[in-house]
Structure formats: structure tokens, C-alpha cells
Amino acid sequence: MTSHRNIDTIRAEFPLLATNPELAYLDNAAGTQKPEAVLKAMDAFYRTSYANVHRSVYDLSERATAQYEDARGRVAHFLNAQPQEIIFTKNATEAINLVAYSFGEENVHEGDEVLVSILEHHANFLPWQRLCAQKKARLVVAPVRADGTLDEEQMLALISARTKIVALTALSNVTGTRTPLARIIERVHQQGARVIIDGAQAVAHEHVDIRAMGADFFVFSGHKVFGPTGIGVLAARAELLETMQPFIVGGEMVKTVSLDNTEWNDIPWKFEAGTPPIAEAIGLKTAIDFIESIGWPHLHAHEQTLVEYALERVRALKGVHLIGPETYSSDRAPIISFTVDGVHPHDLASILNERHVAIRSGHFCAQPFLNALSYTAAARASFTIYNTHAEVDALIEGIAAAQKIFRV
């Protein structure tokens, strides 16, 4: 059920923003703030329902297990998957590493290729780099155009009979541009390969249907989508999960253990060794409820006006250079990265911090991408449903103040 709450009402639902009205929090690509509903849901679980899950027959444990599995079902519905296809991890990084180990180790061999794009966050680059080094396979990296967008035709041309895995972001954490996935995924499957989509940025800005998308594996983190830290999701085709070995072994991911043999549990539990992030799963469920209560059309409309306004104002500043496309289009999320002549990104971020504007500075865990565009560091502002035009103005005023301080 959606509602048409105004921005002031929405901001009031976030305790940190409500108690710090002077703060312009523009680092949402790294992690969003948490609504009161998420905090209350986790607190209520610990106060009224806490017990370990899947281990006991007493009422409290069964209630906790029911809440945990209800969260799994909610995530499955959110992505158009089946509950047994949802594995809870600690973040998207762990989910990608799970796939690299449990699927990659068995399916990538010497002489094979793993294809990634230069756009990737280190989390979707390093596991494949290491896998290829270990297996004597080849890591193939698809380039971007001069404007920082993926060259789809070149990516398609790099998919061959040697390709076993294609790892691709759905949305760049540097430029905010969406990756054209449909033709790429179709070509991957034509070659008999598998595709993993890093959806860490996408899930906060668009409805994701992994069935329609055609992804074999899809990952995201709770902390980027109004949920808690310490929880991520791997959504994968059940038939693939059935064939994969566990990534981590230990308690509760087995059916039987003897001195000579072990029988793994069914999916998804064979991939969830030890005590899982129970309260975090409940928090993630509530975060999804929050997003859907806002409604995707309302979210999109608000984010569109913000990023259009931000791009317009940044373009008007002399000596400020946008990374990626400089104008708004429908395939762009509200993430903008830029540099300022004569001002290091860390210095800019420090000056903005003094003015209560929080941005990211550095390489955003995307060094190969920035290096490909001849940058070593940049500044990034990223927006979401609770940000305002006044906060964009505060960002612009802070950039101008930094230029004045550095006399540029």
C-alpha cells in the first residue's frame, strides 16, 4: 500500500534527520539512514521475541524462526523470487564471494574467461580477479565510453564460448547510470554462461524483478536500502543453488554429521552456517515495507527532480567537472560524482562537513573505473527520498566556499 506523504513527513520518520535538522546527508550511495519503523521492529524483536532460530521446539524459538522466515519471504516477493532462492549474508560483498567460491570454483577452469566491466565496485571485481588467478582463467574487462557509460556493443563482443561467468553492476555507484542488461544477459545465456548482477545501488532506486531481468544471481545489501547493516541478500536460481557446495560450514547448515560423512541441509539453509542475522532480517523486511509504502512512482519523481536540479546547479559552477553524463536521462539514478579544480576531494569533503553537508570523497571502491577516466579521486553526492532542493543548494554553496578558500 502506497501513500503520498510529503517530504517533511518522510524526513520526520528518520530519527537521525529529525534530531539533526541542520544536516544535509548526501552519502546515500554508501548507506541510507534508517526509518523509525526499522529501528522499532528490531528493538521489538529483541525485547519480545528473541531466541535462536531453527534449533528448538519451544514457543519463543518457533516465533523467532517464523519472523525470520517471514522476512525471507518478504525479500523473495520484493525481487519476484521464491523463498528458497533467498540466502541471507552479511552484505552484498559476502554474497558475491559466495558465488565466486561455491559456483566459480566448480565451473571456471584453466583457459576459461570471466567477464566483468570496468564500472564494477571492488566487491564485484576482486573475487573474480582472485578466482581467475587461482584457476588460471582469464579476467576480461569490458571498457566504458569517454562519458563513463558502458560500451554495450564491446561488452557483447567479448562474450564468447570461453565465457563462464559475467559479473555486472545494475547501476554505477560512481555515475549513477544504469547498465543496459537485457541484451547482455540474453547473449550470456546463449553462450551457456551465467550472470551475476550487483544490485547494491539499484534496489534503492527501482523495482527489481529478477525473473524479468533474467539474472542467475542477484545481490544487494540492506544498509543501502533503509535497512540495517550486517545483512545482505543473494537471490539465485534454485536449480543452481542445488548444485553448489556451501561457502561456509558449521552449525545448522547440515542434516547429519558423522566422523566420515556430512549431509548438507536443503536450500537455502545450507548456505547459512551458524546463527544468522535474525534481527537484521526483520529490519530489512520492515525497510522493504517502508519503500513500498512510499511507492516507486513517488520515489522516482522526487529523485528525478533532485538529480536534474543538482546537475543543473553543478554545471553552472566554473572549475567543477562532472564524471559521467552531464545531463539527466531516465536511465540515471540520483548519484553525481565530480572534481573541483585546485581542491582535493578530501579537502572539499572536510569543508562541506564544517557546513553540515555529508558527501563521499575518494575512489568509492571503484579504482579501476576512475583510473580508466584518468581520475584518482573524486567527490560524490547521492540523494534519496528524504533529500531536498535546499540540501542541493547547501552543497553548491559549500563547493563555492571551498573554491574561495583555495582561491580557485
pLDDT, tens digit (0-9, with 9 covering 90-100), for 203-241: 999 999 999 999 999 999 999 999 999 999 999 999 999
Flag whether pLDDT at 2 surpasses 60: no
CATH of 7-30+295-405 among 3.40.50.9100, 3.90.1150.10, 3.40.50.920, 3.40.710.10: 3.90.1150.10
pLDDT, tens digit (0-9, with 9 covering 90-100), for 6-37: 999 999 999 999 999 999 999 999 999 999 99
Q: What is the pLDDT of residue 329?
A: 84
> Residue 24: which residues within 8 A CB-CB, separation 6 or more?
356, 357, 358, 387, 390, 391, 394, 395
Residue 156 backbone dihedrals phi, psi, to 5 degrees: -60, -40
Nearest to 68 by CA among 285, 271, 235, 221: 285
Sign of CA dihedral 10, 14, 18, 20: negative
Nearest to 156 by CA among 128, 182, 183, 179: 183
Burial class (CB in 10 A: 0-12, 13-18, 19+), 180: middle
Reported as a pLDDT band with limits 50, 70 and 90, residue 1 is very low
CA atoms within 13 A on the CB side of 205: 28
Residues of the chain with CATH 3.90.1150.10: 7-30+295-405
Q: CB count, 10 Å around CB of 228?
A: 22
Strands, DSSP E only, in 55-98?
A: 86-89
Q: Which residues belong to the active site?
A: 365
Geometric angle at alpha carbon 150, from 145 and 152, rounded to 5° = 105
All three cell numbers of 58, joined, read 519451544
pLDDT, tens digit (0-9, with 9 covering 90-100), for 103-143: 999 999 999 999 999 999 999 999 999 999 999 999 999 99
pLDDT, tens digit (0-9, with 9 covering 90-100), for 153-192: 999 999 999 999 999 999 999 999 999 999 999 999 999 9
Please report where in the chains the cell 578530501 appears, as a residue. Answer: 346
Q: What is the pLDDT of residue 13?
A: 98
Q: What percent of the chain has pLDDT above 90?
A: 97
Q: What is the pLDDT of residue 163?
A: 99
Flag whether pLDDT at 3 surpasses 80: no
Residue 245 backbone dihedrals phi, psi, to 5 degrees: -85, 155
Q: What is the pLDDT of residue 286?
A: 99
Residues of the chain with CATH 3.40.640.10: 39-291
Fold of 39-291: Aspartate Aminotransferase; domain 2 (3.40.640)
